[in-house]
């Protein structure tokens, strides 16, 4: 059956609300407006005000309230309208949600799920085009999920809600209308492991989230030219499934990481470092990265395209690496 990423997210939240009386959705415009990306359209009518809580413009406040509610026994799904506004909530996310378990000697954990739309590519300019998932993955105590497929959009939330720790889900805005054929009977698989989406021999391409469809496209283009590329969907940036990456690189001996974050201090840098530390002698060529260029994202379409890795960039980078 065919399903869009948006429908999948919607399905997952609806299931959670139906199946667990402790779950509620809180965030800006999740109710009357229907979600700023229409993910929770009509939920207010279906579930009522207790379950669908329209919050004022108070990211730090309602994130803190969600954390407290989780400590008090509920299972909040906190929606931060977009990743850009999560900066206003960072203190609660990091200093409290992430650290509480450790600071309390393992007594308290914070079972919240915090969802937010991430990424650039829609000509929204600098303040609305950030990709903070790699940055947040720096912090021990949180788990970072980055669904890049419809199946993951459909099932990651359920695993996140079952986890006793704070889980952040970064949903890519460009993927919302993305439609994929999915198996209706499939029940999902643990999101905390990477997945090899395409097997190949000569190079490993590791990526996640919004960069996934264009990476897949690049791999198919190259396949037609006789190249065999292995594509890994990281799916979860923390805890990182390092094993899957190392296994693949041991086979292909080449690695390209495509990451929508800025290059300096990027998540791609982390993966590159780990590969270097652990299996340097398996490499036939230096690890390469394709990242966001080091500018705030501009409005003009051609400039924005140039700032964020595109399919063509991935294709030429791989060709260069295989030359």
Partner 1 sequence: MIDEEKIFLLKNMLRVRRMEELCAELYTREKIRGFLHLYIGEEAVATGVLSLVDPVDNVMATYREHAHALLKGISAKSIMAEMFGRVDGCSGGRGGSMHLYSREKRFFGGNAIVASGIPQAVGLALAAQRLRESRKTICFFGEGAIAEGVFYESLNMASLWKIPLLFCCENNLYAMGTGLVRSQAQTDLIKKATIHNISAETVNGMDVLEVVAKTKKALEYISNEKKPYFLEFKTYRFRPHSMFDPDLYREKSELEVWKKHCPIDSFSSSLLSTQIISEDSLKNLKIEIENEMQEAIVFAEKSLEESVNELERHVYLQAGI
Catalytic residues: 59, 128
288-292/179-181 β-pairing: unpaired
CB of 142 or CB of 231, closer to partner 1: 142
User: Smallest distance, Å, CB 261 to partner 1?
Assistant: 23
**Does 90 interact with partner 1 (rule: CB under 8 A)?**
no
| Under 8 Å between Cβ of 27 and 62 | yes
167-172/113-118 β-pairing: parallel
User: Smallest distance, Å, CB 270 to partner 1?
Assistant: 17
Q: Kindly state the tokens that stand for 168.
A: 């952040």
Q: Which residues from 63-82 bind partner 1, rule CB under 8 A? A: 63-74, 76
**Does 19 interact with partner 1 (rule: CB under 8 A)?**
no
Q: Which stretch binds partner 1 (CB under 8 A): 91-99, 126-134, 209-217, 303-311?
A: 91-99
Residue of 1, 2, 105, 281 interacting with partner 1 (CB under 8 A) = 105
CB-neighbour burial class of residue 104 (10 A; exposed 0-12, middle 13-18, buried 19+): exposed
User: Smallest distance, Å, CB 279 to partner 1?
Assistant: 23
**Does 86 interact with partner 1 (rule: CB under 8 A)?**
no
Residue showing tokens 């500018």: 295
Q: Which stretch binds partner 1 (CB under 8 A): 160-168, 204-212, 223-231, 285-293?
A: 160-168
**Does 320 interact with partner 1 (rule: CB under 8 A)?**
no
User: Smallest distance, Å, CB 50 to partner 1?
Assistant: 7
CA distance 232 to 241: 11
CB of 90 or CB of 285, closer to partner 1: 90
Q: Determine the number of helices (DSSP H) and then strands (DSSP E) in the chain.
A: 12, 14
Residue of 96, 149, 207, 244 interacting with partner 1 (CB under 8 A) = 96
Residue of 40, 109, 129, 131 interacting with partner 1 (CB under 8 A) = 109
In sequence order, the β-bridge partners of residue 3 are 180
User: Smallest distance, Å, CB 39 to partner 1?
Assistant: 22
Q: Which residues from 45-64 bind partner 1, rule CB under 8 A? A: 50, 53, 55-56, 58, 60-64
Transcribe 168-190 into DSSP letters: EEEEEGGGTT-EEE--TT-----
Nearest to 232 by CA among 187, 189, 211, 158: 211
**Does 213 interact with partner 1 (rule: CB under 8 A)?**
no
CA atoms within 13 A of residue 253's CA, in its CB half-sphere:
7
**Does 188 interact with partner 1 (rule: CB under 8 A)?**
no
In sequence order, the β-bridge partners of residue 318 are none
**Does 114 interact with partner 1 (rule: CB under 8 A)?**
no
User: Smallest distance, Å, CB 74 to partner 1?
Assistant: 5
Which ranges of the chain does DSSP label H, i.e. alpha helix?
A: 5-19, 43-47, 59-71, 90, 100-103, 133-136, 150-162, 212-224, 242-252, 267-279, 301-307, 311-322
Q: Kindly state the tokens that stand for 235.
A: 């799916």
Instruction: Give me the residues that bind partner 1 (CB under 8 A), please.
Output: 22, 24, 50, 53, 55-56, 58, 60-74, 76, 91-92, 95-96, 100-109, 140-141, 143, 162-165
């Amino acid at each position: 059956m065919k399903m869009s990423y948006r429908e999948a997210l919607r399905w997952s939240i609806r299931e959670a609300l139906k199946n667990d009386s402790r779950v509620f959705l809180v965030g800006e415009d999740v109710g009357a407006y229907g979600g700023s990306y229409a993910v929770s359209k009509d939920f207010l009518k279906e579930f009522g005000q207790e379950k669908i809580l329209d919050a004022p413009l108070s990211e730090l406040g309602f994130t803190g309230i969600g954390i407290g509610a989780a400590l008090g026994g509920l299972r909040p799904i906190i929606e931060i309208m977009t990743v850009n506004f999560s900066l206003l909530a960072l203190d609660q996310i990091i200093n409290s949600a992430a650290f509480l378990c450790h600071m309390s000697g393992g007594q308290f954990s914070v079972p919240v799920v915090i969802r937010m739309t991430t990424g650039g590519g829609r000509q929204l300019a600098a303040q609305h085009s950030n990709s903070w998932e790699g940055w947040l993955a720096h912090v021990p105590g949180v788990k970072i999920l980055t669904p890049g497929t419809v199946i993951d959009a459909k099932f990651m939330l359920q695993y996140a809600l079952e986890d006793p720790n704070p889980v952040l889900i970064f949903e890519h805005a460009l993927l919302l209308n993305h439609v994929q054929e999915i198996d209706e009977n499939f029940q999902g698989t643990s999101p905390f492991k990477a997945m090899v989406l395409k097997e190949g021999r000569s190079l490993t391409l590791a990526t996640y989230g919004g960069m996934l469809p264009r990476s897949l496209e690049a791999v198919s283009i190259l396949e037609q030219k006789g190249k065999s590329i292995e594509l890994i969907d990281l799916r979860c940036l923390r805890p990182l499934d390092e094993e899957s990456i190392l296994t693949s690189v041991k086979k292909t001996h080449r690695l390209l990481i495509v990451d929508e974050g800025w290059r300096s201090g990027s998540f791609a840098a982390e993966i590159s470092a780990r590969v270097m530390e652990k299996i340097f002698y398996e490499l036939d060529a230096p690890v390469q990265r394709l990242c966001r260029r080091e500018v705030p994202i501009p409005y003009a379409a051609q400039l924005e395209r140039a700032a964020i890795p595109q399919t063509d960039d991935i294709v030429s980078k791989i060709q260069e690496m295989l030359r």
